[in-house]
Chain A
Amino acid sequence: MSRGRFGKFGGQYVPETLMNELIRLEEQYNFYKKDPAFNAELTKLLNEYAGRPSRLYYAEKMTKDLGGAKIYLKREDLNHTGAHKINNCIGQVLLAKKMGKTRVIAETGAGQHGVATATVAALLGMECEVFMGKLDCERQRLNVYRMELLGAKVHPVESGTQVLKDAVNETMREWAGRVDDTHYVLGSVMGPHPFPTIVRDFQAVISREARQQILEAQGKLPDAVVACVGGGSNAMGMFYHFIGDEGVKLIGCEAAGRGIETGEHAATIADGSLGVFHGMKSLFCQNEYGQIKEVYSISAGLDYPGIGPEHAWLHDIGRAEYVPVTDDEAVEAFEYLARTEGIICAIESAHAVAQARKIAPLMSSDQSMIICLSGRGDKDVAAIARYRGIQISD
């Protein structure tokens, strides 16, 4: 079997044109990840530019209000550009530069990964082009303009369903046409090997810090960590250093949209099946003939018909649990966190907050959990207002 497997999941299902480039990427990554100079530069950028380490904040009011487990928030929303996405972008753009690339391309859904890629490209002096579904461009005009401010060229993708999966298709097509000087900064723990591993490693800084921070805070590991899952990069980063700690439950929250039973959702584990797409064998929302389904979530960042192969494997072996969270529950959690802790989080992260609200009251006060607050919610305010029937212009 090929390289890059997590159990039966993963692999490299890409056109031949990209194979040598993926092999080269793997070799170069394996070299640089052990290179002290590369790691020193990476750490410096993460700390001084992105603002790491991110805080582990004890949410005392929320804890008291829910009356169960102690709740800690891992504040990835406080990173530069407002989400965990920057961790991966700094790593990959730096790697691309070391590999001699002069141009980076990326897909983006809501625009968070596109903004983070454009940001690091500006900092490191790389040319940057971002592919974004035409519908997403219309929904997130502010992020399109933000990327342009950062010097990136944004291509609205008009093929297919004009959303995130189509943006991934188009970025892969672009890459197959120009690999010599171009690196594809894939934004999640998905795609062909070595991307799921590279992105996970660059996001693992989240749990590396969180594990140490919670031990300092309370002298023992948490009973659960909770994170939202689309492709799954913040969840993989949040889970990774806790995988070996059997007492720590790993909980991923999928977007159940208007409810699993309505068919309008993006809950791959709840309703998907084994397939091969976007370069990987994993679980996907698809029809009886293996055509990829259109998915839906109020959160553009979770609106993806697949899940990273390592998550599919963690699910398969029973190490992590994946639960569906609806739009309604996420919006309520979004408002709840704002009112209770004074934090407006991303609607993606609100899916994790919603799950914590369900399970914390069932736990005892000597237990604890960490919620990965993967991003801040400024980008979502207009959409939440619309959801509540209030029109505000952005």
Chain B
Amino acid sequence: MARRIKDAFAGGKAFIAFITAGDPNLAATEEYILEMERAGADLIEIGIPFSDPIAEGVVIQEADLRALKSGTTTDKIFDMVGRLRQKTDMPLVFMGYLNPVFHYGYERFFARCEECGISGIIIPDLPYEEKGECEAIAAAHGVDVISMIAPTSESRIRAIASEARGFLYVVSSMGVTGVRSEIKTDLASILSAIRKATDIPAAVGFGINTPEQAAKIAAICDGVIVGSAIVRIVAQYGTEAGPHIYEYVKRMKEALRP
């Protein structure tokens, strides 16, 4: 039985790692996920590549295009996760834009998630108002549709947080994903508003890339999410990225330990 999202937050501050499926190919993705688990990652977000990822900065945009070019499809990603499940029971979630999920068919998509132990999905273009689109079908298959909170959410935080499932994805900065040298948002006040509405874990993502940033942010939340920094390593080393990803994730996870 695969472990769930809540297990990822059970042992202290969670390190959540994102990787684009199929960049540079699915065999490499499978290997890198296992490397990240070995290095201490608590939860992996597997990115389903999309032709037009409007919430991504250039690093993940290019990873999506490389993945699609290498022939990655939703079916092949499910097959990869199936193979991965022979080797690990670690908590896994998907990150993907709505159209590939919609087009696959919600029922069929979430049934396959259940089969291969995917316990959540982050859909950046599915805000609170539209989550009725697939939340019930996902829940019927044990999949949490994870809600996001942005620096501009303000009065919306309460409603979003009180209905959130799995964990809350707190977007650290305006704009798109990508490495940032400084995060200026007043995260403490956002997290305090979240705490008033829910006790499910809140993890912060967008822009985090150094152990120092991770440690500082983790002090006020339950976990940090790192994407572009990992995808950048894959872009640099291609199929030889394993040891580099391992070292990076290990350093980041260590920064979160008390």
**Interfacial residues, chain A to chain B (CB-CB below 8 A):** 1-3, 11-21, 159-160, 165-166, 169, 172-173, 176-179, 273-279, 284, 286, 288-292
**What are 6 inter-chain pairs, A to B, with CB distance below 8 A?**
A3-B129, A13-B125, A19-B128, A179-B174, A273-B103, A290-B101
Q: Is the CB of A292 within 8 A of B127?
A: no
Chain A residues lying within 8 Å of B73, measured Cβ to Cβ, are 289
Q: Is the CB of A15 within 8 A of B153?
A: no
Q: Is the CB of B99 within 8 A of A277?
A: yes
Q: Is the CB of A16 within 8 A of B127?
A: yes
Q: Is the CB of A2 within 8 A of B130?
A: yes
Q: Is the CB of B124 within 8 A of A15?
A: yes
Q: Is the CB of B130 within 8 A of A289?
A: no
Q: Is the CB of A11 within 8 A of B152?
A: no
B54 in contact (CB, < 8 A): yes
Closest to B169 in A: A16
The distance in angstroms between the C-alpha atoms of A16 and B74, with both chains bound, is 25
Chain A residues lying within 8 Å of B130, measured Cβ to Cβ, are 2, 11-13
Q: Is the CB of B150 within 8 A of A17?
A: yes
Closest to B124 in A: A15
Q: Is the CB of B125 within 8 A of A176?
A: no
Q: Is the CB of B99 within 8 A of A292?
A: yes
Q: Is the CB of A160 within 8 A of B171?
A: no
Known A11-B130, A176-B176, A178-B174: A20·B156 in contact at CB below 8 Å: yes
The distance in angstroms between the C-alpha atoms of A159 and B53, with both chains bound, is 10
B68 in contact (CB, < 8 A): yes
B52 in contact (CB, < 8 A): yes
Known A12-B130, A20-B152, A176-B176: A276·B55 in contact at CB below 8 Å: no
B119 in contact (CB, < 8 A): no
Q: Is the CB of B174 within 8 A of A176?
A: yes
Instruction: Determine how close the nearest CB of chain A comes to the CB of B135; give it in whole angstroms.
Output: 13
The distance in angstroms between the C-alpha atoms of A173 and B174, with both chains bound, is 10
Closest to B173 in A: A177
The distance in angstroms between the C-alpha atoms of A349 and B205, with both chains bound, is 46
Instruction: Determine how close the nearest CB of chain A comes to the CB of B183; give it in whole angstroms.
Output: 14
Q: Is the CB of A177 within 8 A of B99?
A: no
B51 in contact (CB, < 8 A): yes
Q: Is the CB of B54 within 8 A of A15?
A: yes
Closest to A171 in B: B54
Q: Is the CB of B52 within 8 A of A292?
A: yes
Contacts A160-B52, A289-B104 aside, 10 further interface pairs with beta carbons under 8 A come to A13-B98, A15-B54, A15-B148, A15-B150, A178-B175, A275-B99, A276-B102, A290-B101, A291-B68, A292-B52
Residues 94-153 of B contacting A (Cβ, < 8 Å):
98-104, 124-130, 132, 147-153
Instruction: Determine how close the nearest CB of chain B comes to the CB of A384; give it in whole angstroms.
Output: 30
Chain A residues lying within 8 Å of B54, measured Cβ to Cβ, are 14-15, 169, 172-173, 176, 278
The distance in angstroms between the C-alpha atoms of A292 and B74, with both chains bound, is 14
Q: Is the CB of B153 within 8 A of A279?
A: no
Number of interface residues of B (CB under 8 A): 44
Chain B residues lying within 8 Å of A278, measured Cβ to Cβ, are 52, 54
Q: Is the CB of A12 within 8 A of B127?
A: yes
B50 in contact (CB, < 8 A): yes
Known A12-B129, A19-B128: A286·B99 in contact at CB below 8 Å: yes
B20 in contact (CB, < 8 A): no
The distance in angstroms between the C-alpha atoms of A279 and B54, with both chains bound, is 10
Chain A residues lying within 8 Å of B132, measured Cβ to Cβ, are 1-2
The distance in angstroms between the C-alpha atoms of A161 and B6, with both chains bound, is 40
Chain A residues lying within 8 Å of B153, measured Cβ to Cβ, are 16, 19-20
Known A275-B99, A292-B52: A17·B104 in contact at CB below 8 Å: no
Chain A residues lying within 8 Å of B51, measured Cβ to Cβ, are 160, 291-292
Known A15-B55, A169-B52, A173-B54: A290·B127 in contact at CB below 8 Å: no
Q: Is the CB of A16 within 8 A of B102?
A: no
Chain B residues lying within 8 Å of A15, measured Cβ to Cβ, are 54-55, 124-125, 127, 148, 150, 171
B79 in contact (CB, < 8 A): no
Chain B residues lying within 8 Å of A169, measured Cβ to Cβ, are 52-54
Chain A residues lying within 8 Å of B209, measured Cβ to Cβ, are none
Residue in A1, A18, A166, A291 whose CB lies within 8 Å of B100: A291
B154 in contact (CB, < 8 A): yes
Closest to A1 in B: B132
Q: Is the CB of A16 within 8 A of B171?
A: yes
Q: Is the CB of B102 within 8 A of A290?
A: yes
Q: Is the CB of A289 within 8 A of B151?
A: no
Known A176-B55, A275-B99, A291-B50: A16·B175 in contact at CB below 8 Å: no
Instruction: Determine how close the nearest CB of chain B comes to the CB of A270; give it in whole angstroms.
Output: 18
Closest to B147 in A: A16
The distance in angstroms between the C-alpha atoms of A166 and B61, with both chains bound, is 11
The distance in angstroms between the C-alpha atoms of A290 and B151, with both chains bound, is 30
Instruction: Determine how close the nearest CB of chain B comes to the CB of A93; give it in whole angstroms.
Output: 22
B219 in contact (CB, < 8 A): no
Residue in A16, A178, A274, A290 whose CB lies within 8 Å of B128: A16
Q: Is the CB of B99 within 8 A of A17?
A: no
Closest to B99 in A: A290
Q: Is the CB of B156 within 8 A of A19?
A: yes
Chain A residues lying within 8 Å of B125, measured Cβ to Cβ, are 13-15, 276, 279
The distance in angstroms between the C-alpha atoms of A188 and B100, with both chains bound, is 24
Q: Is the CB of B58 within 8 A of A159?
A: yes
B65 in contact (CB, < 8 A): yes
Among B50, B54, B75, B152, which residue has the most Cβ atoms of chain A within 10 A?
B54
The distance in angstroms between the C-alpha atoms of A292 and B98, with both chains bound, is 12
Known A165-B52, A277-B52, A289-B73: A16·B99 in contact at CB below 8 Å: no
Residues 66-82 of B contacting A (Cβ, < 8 Å):
68, 73-75
Q: Is the CB of A16 within 8 A of B52?
A: no
Chain B residues lying within 8 Å of A13, measured Cβ to Cβ, are 98, 125-127, 130
Closest to A4 in B: B129
Chain A residues lying within 8 Å of B155, measured Cβ to Cβ, are 20
Residue in B65, B75, B152 whose CB lies within 8 Å of A21: B152
The distance in angstroms between the C-alpha atoms of A19 and B160, with both chains bound, is 12
